[in-house]
Structure 1
Amino acid sequence: MTDPCNIAASLPRLAREQPDRVAMRCPDGAGRYTRELTYAQLDARSDAIAAGLGAYRIGRGSRTVVMVRPTPEFFLLMFALFKAGAVPVLVDPGIDRRALKQCLDEAEPEAFIGIPLAQFARRVLGWAKSAKKIVTVGPRWAWGGTTLAKIEARGSGAGPQLADTAPDDVAGILFTSGSTGVPKGVVYRHRHFVAQIELLRNAFGLQPGGVDLPTFPPFALFDPALGLTSVIPDMDPTRPASADPDKLHAAIARFGVTQLFGSPALMKVLADHGAPLPTVQRVTSAGAPVPPDTVAKIRTLLPEGAQFWTPYGATECLPVAVIEGRELESTRAATEAGAGTCVGRAVSPNEVRIIRIVDAPIADWNDVDEVPDGEVGEITVAGPTATDTYFRRDAATRIAKIREALPDGGERIVHRMGDVGWFDGEGRLWFCGRKTQRVETADGPLYTEQVEPVFNTHPQVRRTALVGVGEPGRQTPVLCYELQPGVGVDRARLEADLRAIGARHPHTARIARFLPHPGFPVDIRHNAKIGRETLAAWAAAQKEPHA
């Protein structure tokens, strides 16, 4: 008899084979790592919670909002929900309040599990009014329902729990970060989660027994299925740029961390700190292109033979392609000359293809116009982790998904990444930016990742952002820039330098307007994706300087 298609299906086996191995360690409120779960404990306690949830009528198919900090309770709950066949709904708590309320209303959950602060906000702000089953992680206070402790006690002794979930059953609804609009609920089926485990294992050569420091907590959910130990960092996961590098290094040294995952903002924290990472054999960074200087600095801190991976993907499909740091560094000159950012080769068995840029929906792959290597177009991907729909967002689904007939009579979904890029002659994919953030001038389009790295080479500039002002087709390109911390400069001289840099390349030579900005808006999830839509509105309101 085969196991159900379920990310939690590997837990009972791991609990039998390595019952005393630590599955995860979490800091307490004082920053001490006093809380841990072995594989046996994670399996047994998540069984009890799954049984208790079922008795409370949170079971197969129940959409359940989870608003719990990355503590042992979060991981116990998530695996319990998977075992029960329930559908966890995850939303970034740091997004705009109105957007968060819209996400929760859209999901129309039947249950709401959260810490007391989340329950307070639910009552005061009217979140998730459809939720009738309330579970508080901590003291219940005055908002009704029950507590996680009571749920676990109720299910204690019930024995193994694992719903016979099928590959196409809905496993979760994960909302995007909303960095380019209102977050959308990505529908994950059990086959998507299971496929992600295999693709990650194969893409990065992950072996059981490693110790992971996942600074983006949802990624820690993959660790038990990969046979890894998770060490949850002592930091605010919504503000990786503010992480304390001393705390990160203390955890890495104490537990012998062999791999870590973090956004480019977190990588910059470690790179600027400059302390060696002698135990770390694998670093993975995603969420946005990693600046070349950051890649170079991190690689000098790693031991010989260690790898720095930058996977390319999205909530809707991950991973799509990967590139290792050595190869990424070898493409740096091309990036700084305006080629875009190389994101490597497609992860097998994904099929990545580039199509002509259009903004309208494409219903059938027969209506697609593929472009040849070397030409910029929209990136599409078909593969086992490509999700097929957004929850109750039919218009967004039509824009992002294309149906493709297969030779055997079946069909598959091709996901439009919403990114633009191109393939080189070696089969490597180059990322050129978000499709919606391209600047359509009278002389043709400009792409953010082909423009900004050219100007980011100036030593006084921290980063830049290309935006367009005016109607598409006649937009004026504007380059917003942030200065390096503590730098005071002559604006006229700096902008003369930027014009001189831009003049070296045909596409950047068109940019004649430059605007300093005190601090770019960025996404809440990775603190790395620049909110160019917000910057564009700001740039449009700025007056032209006097001649």
Structure 2
Amino acid sequence: MNIANVLEFLESSVEKYPHKKAVDDGERSFTYVQLLQEAKRIGTVLTGCTAPGKPVVIFMEKSAGCLAALLGCVYAGCFYVVVHPVFPEERIRKMIKVLEADAAITGNGAASKLVSCGFQGTVLEMEDLTVSGILQERLDRVRNEAQDTDLVYGMFTSGSTGTPKMVVVSHRAIIDFIEDLLDVSGISERDIIGNQAPFDFDVSVKDIFSTFAKGGTLILIARELFSQPLALTEYLKEQKVTVLIWAVTALSMLAGTKQEGVKPPDCIRKVMFSGEVMPQKPLQFWIHALPEAEFYNLYGPTEVTCNCTWYKLPKGGSNTGKLPIGLPFSKRKIYLWDDAKREILKPRQVGEICVGGSTLASGYYHNEKAQDEKFICKACEDGSRERIYCTGDLGYYDEEGLLYFAGRKDFQIKRMGHRIEMEEVELEIGSVPGVERACCIYDDETQTLLAFYTGEAQASDVRREVRGKLPAYMLPNRIIRVEEFFVTKNGKTDRGHLRELGAKYFKKRLS
């Protein structure tokens, strides 16, 4: 498929399947032609409020209407940035300051909060946009001047300075990635994709554009259902969902429920997971529940446009305790670098995972300093220069050339004179009978290593088991059982919350 704009995914499916359901959020749905018209109405209004290349704030919860607004931004030649109304006001203020946007789309009475947080541009109510007309000539002018390097979306990540960084991604990066993902996964027009991720999390990009590229159907699953496991599985069955592209924590939540009758429906034929290391016990739950399904481990930070490597599990799964993150997608290049940025090719030798290729993000919006630190140029043998993103993740190759994740550089600690990967400690604790998941945090000042876990096992039993597997310098000072792990808005384990829980233990060590 030779395309230059992500809207061509949608438009191609409109031609083939105009009256097929494109998206359904449980309360409202659009066919492909209805979604196209709604997006064009919104795009038409936006062309009178802001200029191509500018960000548009989407101050809404996830919904079918919100999806139309995202696409409307792209029709106007702009890029969308989802800011959740439930965010703390201080966080919203910081995001607005980074964006300097001229226009925002909101609904359900959220406009006053946006304005109170310092937004000074035009605020458009979603209810008003949907009754506007379509000025096709105006939209055509925007499209004719567009390039594949234009931006489609911006997504915020945390910043070490306290100011959130926003990753921005182009049409070309999304197109090349989605084409690779479809080649690997075999998603087709017959598939119904069950969307778990919020629209400000890049997993949603896979859901949205994989669906539109093939002419499938996208089911937007309400956030509330993820706290109701039985209702969630019944909803998946009712909607005949065939593909899940979910965060590890969402899959683990369902696997860890004690509610009777919870079983993923047989209609699911593909499960893709990413965001964190998948623990073996939740993975085995899903494999046993869906023995005929295909399972894929995907890896990659937001800055590489969703994912850069993939691994398809063999039928029946894996009991080795550690999954490969696999091989690079065809339009990616993966490098393992040592501290001197020399390439590592030797099996089992750990280095930093660095990524090149056409699908890298464009960079950090209005943050050249951070961009220059993380996106670097590498001189090639032919005299050209290649743009590389340094992930901060560690990895190694096995003897077959498969890549493995080996933790974060910033999760690597020095304790009792030894360098320790906290992920290794987590894996060993997670393998103890009665433990569902484990997560470690470390306080450098007090040299305290704490391990938290969920499950029915007693902490004393977990410690006894782990003592037989780990050397003394890797044993946590405390092993603490918790009812559940809090998660961030992106579905990852909230280590900040665990650090708060562990604060009293750090203080005790100091006293």
Question: TM over 0.5, yes or no?
Answer: yes
Q: 1:539 to 1:191 in 2, by over 3 A?
A: farther
Distance 1:520 1:253 in 2: 27
In the other structure, the counterpart of 1:386 is 360
In the other structure, the counterpart of 1:311 is 298
Q: How far is 1:80 from its partner? A: 1.4
For the residue of structure 2 that corresponds to 1:526, the secondary structure is coil
Q: CA deviation digits over 1:468-488, x for unaligned, max 9?
A: 3335xxx73513223426x6x
In the other structure, the counterpart of 1:46 is 39
Q: Which of the residues 462, 470, 482 maps onto 1:502?
A: 470
Q: Report the count of equivalent residues.
A: 495
CA contact (8 A) 2:151 2:169 kept: yes
Q: How far is 1:203 from its partner? A: 2.2
CA contact (8 A) 2:294 2:315 kept: no
Q: How far is 1:298 from its partner? A: 0.7
Which residue identity does 2:468 align to in structure 1?
A
Q: How far is 1:451 from its partner? A: 2.0
Distance 1:483 1:294 in 2: 12
Q: CA deviation digits over 1:118-169, x for unaligned, max 9?
A: 3222133x2434xx2111224xxxxxxxx323xx424377696562321222
Which residue identity does 1:498 align to in structure 2?
V
Q: 1:274 to 1:387 in 2, by over 3 A?
A: same
Distance 2:163 2:503 in 1: 19
CA contact (8 A) 2:61 2:85 kept: no
In the other structure, the counterpart of 1:425 is 399
Residue segments in structure 2 that go unaligned for 5+ positions in a row: none
Determine whether 1:134 maps to 2:123.
Answer: yes
| Superposed CA RMSD | 3.1
For the residue of structure 1 that corresponds to 2:428, the secondary structure is helix
Determine whether 1:266 maps to 2:247.
Answer: no
Q: Which of the residues 98, 114, 133 maps onto 2:106?
A: 114
Distance 2:500 2:470 in 1: 20
Distance 2:119 2:254 in 1: 38
* Pairing of 1:24-43 with structure 2 (within 5 A): 24-28=23-27, 35-43=28-36
Which residue identity does 2:455 align to in structure 1?
Q
Q: 1:441 to 1:308 in 2, by over 3 A?
A: same
Residue segments in structure 1 that go unaligned for 5+ positions in a row: 29-34, 139-146, 336-340, 358-366
In the other structure, the counterpart of 2:5 is 6
For the residue of structure 2 that corresponds to 1:333, the secondary structure is coil
Q: 1:545 to 1:65 in 2, by over 3 A?
A: closer
Q: 1:353 to 1:531 in 2, by over 3 A?
A: farther
Distance 2:155 2:252 in 1: 27
Q: 1:476 to 1:100 in 2, by over 3 A?
A: same
Q: 1:282 to 1:510 in 2, by over 3 A?
A: closer
Distance 1:280 1:178 in 2: 37
CA contact (8 A) 2:41 2:129 kept: no
CA contact (8 A) 2:333 2:355 kept: yes
Distance 1:292 1:59 in 2: 49
Q: CA deviation digits over 1:399-438, x for unaligned, max 9?
A: 2112023455543311111111111111111112221121
Distance 2:35 2:236 in 1: 22
Distance 1:200 1:537 in 2: 40
In the other structure, the counterpart of 1:289 is 277
In the other structure, the counterpart of 2:68 is 76
Q: How far is 1:42 from its partner? A: 1.4
Q: 1:405 to 1:536 in 2, by over 3 A?
A: farther
Distance 1:493 1:213 in 2: 39
In the other structure, the counterpart of 1:142 is none
CA contact (8 A) 2:420 2:474 kept: no
CA contact (8 A) 2:176 2:331 kept: no
Q: 1:444 to 1:401 in 2, by over 3 A?
A: farther
Q: Between the two proteins, what is the percent identity of the paired residues?
A: 22
Q: Which of the residues 514, 524, 544 maps onto 2:478?
A: 514
Q: 1:102 to 1:328 in 2, by over 3 A?
A: farther
CA contact (8 A) 1:479 1:515 kept: yes
Q: 1:225 to 1:118 in 2, by over 3 A?
A: farther
Distance 1:86 1:275 in 2: 42
Distance 1:457 1:181 in 2: 36
Q: 1:216 to 1:86 in 2, by over 3 A?
A: same
Distance 2:108 2:272 in 1: 33
Q: Which of the residues 163, 174, 179 maps onto 2:155?
A: 174
Q: 1:492 to 1:454 in 2, by over 3 A?
A: closer
